[in-house]
Amino acid sequence: MNRDRGDLKWQSAMILPEFAQLLSEAKEEYKQVPKPILDEQQVEENEQSILAAMEYNFFSEFKIFHNKAITQIRGYVHFIDYHNRHYRIYDEKHKEHIISFNNLLSVMNLDEIIPL
């Protein structure tokens, strides 16, 4: 039976707190991505998908740029606020998410219809 400890045997026994903090910051920087730039066609497709989702109450998947990372939210469009330039999205747990027009990357309508 092989009792290999994997990566533990190659790690140092003690790491100074400053080094641990620098390592965690380096990992966070590595995960960051630059904000993608959308062209007019992608923005128009997103708008059409959102309008269809709102009209037919489709369940949709939204990819948004938040805190220098791309995240996904699944839910339905509740309201489009043109004055403040954001969408109000309710997820499966009926939690409200406010997404700025500028942070929305893509919208994919799923074939599920949510009953009111």
We report the CATH number of the domain holding residue 100 as 2.30.30.520
Q: Is residue 107 part of a domain?
A: yes
When divided into structural domains, the chain yields a total of 1
Angular region, 106: left φ>0, alpha ψ -120 to 50, beta rest: beta
Q: Which stretches within the chain are classed as H helix? A: 17-31, 40-56
Q: What is the DSSP letter of 11?
A: S
Q: Is residue 95 part of a domain?
A: yes
At 23 the pLDDT is 85
Closest CA to 104 of 80, 59, 30, 54: 80
Domain span at residue 109 reads 40-113
Q: What is the pLDDT along the chain (116 residues), one digit of tens a residue?
A: 566 665 555 556 567 788 888 888 888 888 888 999 999 999 999 999 999 999 988 999 999 999 888 999 999 999 999 999 999 999 989 999 999 999 999 999 987 655 55
Q: Is residue 71 part of a domain?
A: yes
At 116 the pLDDT is 54
Place of tokens 């380096």: 26
CB contact set of 113 (below 8 Å; sequence gap of 6+): 56, 57, 58, 59
